[in-house]
Amino acid sequence: MTDTVKFLLDESRLPRHWYNINADLPEPMAPVLHPGTHRPVTPDDLAPLFPHGVIEQEMSTEREIDIPEPVRTAYRQWRPSPLYRARRLENALGTPARIYYKYEGVSPAGSHKPNTAVAQAFYNHREGVRRITTETGAGQWGSSLALAGAMFGIDISVYMVKVSFWQKPYRRAFMESFGAECIASPSDTTAAGRAVLAEHPDSTGSLGIAISEAVEMAAQREDTRYALGSVLNHVLLHQTVTGLEAREQMAMADDDPDVIIGCTGGGSNFAGLAFPYLGEQLRGGRQRQFIAVEPAACPTLTKGRFAYDFGDTGHLTPLTRMHTLGSSFVPPGFHAGGLRYHGMAPQISHLTHLGYIRPRAYNQLECFAAGLEFARAEGIIPAPEANHAVKAAMDEAVRCRESGESRVILFNLCGHGNFDMQAYTDYLAGELRDQAYAEDEASMALAGLPTVGPPAGEQP
Ligand SMILES: *Cc1c(COP(=O)(O)O)cnc(C)c1O
């Protein structure tokens, strides 16, 4: 049996700042627009939803943003997270490639999401916010925010996509254990939820609907704000702590990645690992290959349109220019709930549009097969979402076996699958099917995109 090779950073090397890729973009991003006026949003427009500290970060172009000491203290419970070299997987594949993974499953919620949850809870707490509303799909984000709320003394209300609410009772119990309130969405507690229920009483919900409910709740109350677990600039910023650590750990390993891989739902764990490296490249440094991996059943980057769209179904959020399948698109119920979102982070979309990031899509069965092969070699059962990154890393390694190249592959193992045993049970029983992407439904959703003029100076 080959030894596990693990690279651990000393606590004193926990990053002191996050990396903001807005400082290094080769072309500026299209402005975020107000949903009513279609004019660029101002900090005041966002103030009912987010604390000022977060709004500042959302719009910042500073390259390095200090991580506040209370956030570093919270991080220290599980950070710096380990970087592993997957020697046993390399042997199993017979590849000359060197495969590394950054493991974010060591956080108390089992994924990368607490990296932003504790930061957002801190800024809300500092500004006197009493309650935060949010949505959750698979339950990982709700779990992470529930944990962060308990740490900073903030009440958390989570709108959980109804199908997950019923399918994942352990996730709900996890949130409630930390004192959070968990509401199945669509619900009758909001106008957005009631509107969906009136039309589709049996709706099993979607992230887009749950976001509308959470935003509506937050906008109504002075002591309440909203938090999003992915997509927005400040979330991707907070996640860069993983890539900043990984850079140091790769130096400890005396190696340097040629290929960097992450799964993409809203884009935050991928960005967290990739952006510190991509920023180097944008400043004239080494070029690398960046691969964003998504489910073929919700192929936002590979089949979506790069256009202005709403972040939610109820059209309460600002408009951002991103890859989208249309805000009314409801992806089929495959088992990587964290990847079922119609849109993509505007920063990821922008950099994909400019050719810096290569997107790729896989079906769920091939991802579960890869995840089990990984688990049997490395001893960690990946989250179903993370299996997409595992599959891409293994494909790259197999390609190296065929070409004889010894490339260095780094991927984000963004969470463990210990809460997702039902998915593995179904897979092992042969009950999972690949879900086709509903081309016609998506084209209907795309036909409903808002009409917004192209930014000044650009061709339509
Ligand atoms: C939420 C989640 C994702 C998807 O979100 P990103 O913002 O794309 O990272 C992926 N993996 C896991 C384990 C998650 O919890």
C-alpha to C-alpha distance for 328 and 349, rounded to whole angstroms: 19
Residue 350 is predicted with a pLDDT of 98
Region 38-57 average pLDDT: 96
Using alpha carbons, select from 354, 283, 267, 350 the residue that is nearest to residue 63. Answer: 283
pLDDT tens-digit readout, 421-440: 999 999 999 999 998 888 88
Overall size of the chain counted in residues: 460
User: Is residue 422 one of the residues assigned to a domain?
Assistant: yes
Whether residue 332 lies inside any domain: the answer is yes
Query: Does residue 413's CB lie within 6 angstroms of at least one atom of ligand 1?
Result: no
Q: What is the pLDDT of residue 447?
A: 87
Q: Answer whether residue 363 is part of any domain.
A: yes
Distance between CA atoms of residues 392 and 304, nearest Å: 20
Any domain includes 179? no
Q: Which residues of 124-134 are buried (b: 16+ CB within 10 A; e: fewer)?
A: bbeeebebbbb
Q: For 71-129, how does the pLDDT look when each residue is reduced to its tens digit (9 = 90+)?
A: 999 999 999 999 999 999 999 999 999 999 999 999 999 999 999 999 999 999 999 99
Euclidean distance between the first and final Cα of the chain, in Å?
58
Better-scored residue on pLDDT, 72 or 313: 72
Q: What does the block give as tokens for 87?
A: 């020697």
Please give the pLDDT value at position 208.
Answer: 84
Q: What is the CATH number of the domain that holds 80?
A: 3.40.50.1100
- What the block records as the tokens of 44 is 């005041």
Question: What integer pLDDT is reported at residue 174 of this predicted model?
Answer: 97
Domain that residue 99 falls in:
5-14+67-110+234-447
- Nearest residue CA, atom 5 of ligand 1? 265
Ligand 1 neighbourhood includes 385 CB (under 6 angstroms): yes
- For the cut 50, the answer to whether the pLDDT of residue 220 exceeds it is yes
Identify whether the C-beta of residue 338 lies closer than 8 Å to the C-beta of residue 385.
yes
Task: List the residue whose alpha carbon is closest to atom 1 of ligand 1.
Answer: 338
187 lies in a domain? no
Is the distance from the beta carbon of residue 140 to the nearest atom of ligand 1 less than 6 Å? yes
Which atom of ligand 1 is found nearest the CA of 267? 8
Of 454 and 257, more confident: 257
Looking at the CA of residue 386, tell me the nearest atom of ligand 1: 11
Instruction: Dump pLDDT digits (tens) for 261-286.
Output: 999 999 999 999 999 999 999 999 99
Residue 171 sits at φ, ψ, to 5 deg, of -65, -45
Q: Which of 25, 23, 48 is nearest to 35 (CA)?
A: 48
Distance 414 CA to ligand 1 centre (A): 7
- Range with the poorest average pLDDT among 160-164, 225-229, 242-246, 378-382: 160-164
Nearest ligand 1 atom to the CA of 264 is: 8
- Using pLDDT thresholds of 50, 70 and 90, give the confidence band for residue 149: very high
Residue 376 CA to ligand 1 center (angstroms) comes to 22
Does residue 230 line the site of ligand 1, with CB under 6 A?
Answer: yes
* Distance in angstroms (rounded) separating the CA atoms of residues 400 and 404: 5
Q: Domain tally for the chain?
A: 1
- Nearest protein CA to atom 2 of ligand 1, as residue: 338
Residue 165 confidence (pLDDT) above 70: yes
**Cβ–ligand 1 contact at 267 (below 6 Å):** yes
What's the confidence (pLDDT) of residue 114?
98
Strands (E), 241-344: 259-263, 289-295, 305-310, 319-324
Binning the chain into helix, strand and coil, the percentages to the nearest 5 are 45, 15, 40
| β-bridge partners, 159 | 135, 183
Q: Over 90: is that where the pLDDT of 343 sits?
A: yes
Residue 199 lies in a domain: no
Question: What six digits make up the tokens of 35?
Answer: 């949903």
Give Dmax (Cα) for the chain. 63
Is pLDDT at 2 greater than 70 in this prediction?
no
Specify the pLDDT at position 313.
83
| CB contact at 8 A, 261 and 414 | no
Closest C-alpha residue for ligand 1 atom 14: 338
| Residue 263 CB less than 6 A away from ligand 1 | yes
| Percent of the chain surpassing pLDDT 70 | 97
**Residue from 103, 104, 107, 113 whose mutation best tests the ligand 1 pocket (most atoms within 8 A of CB):** 113
| 140 CA → ligand 1 middle, Å | 8
Q: Which atom of ligand 1 is nearest to the CA of 144?
A: 15
CA-based nearest residue to 226, from 320, 133, 349: 133
Q: Average pLDDT in the 235-240 region?
A: 98
Nearest CA to ligand 1 atom 15: 140
Q: In this prediction, what percent of the chain has a pLDDT beyond 90?
A: 86
Tell me whether residue 35 is in a domain.
Answer: no
More confident residue, 391 or 205: 391
Cα 114 to ligand 1 centroid, rounded to whole Å: 11
Q: Report which of 160, 190, 192 is spatially closest to residue 174, judged by C-alpha positions.
A: 160
Q: What's the CA gap between 290 and 28, in Å, rounded?
A: 20
**Residue 206 resides in a domain:** no
Judge whether residue 458 has pLDDT over 70. Answer: no
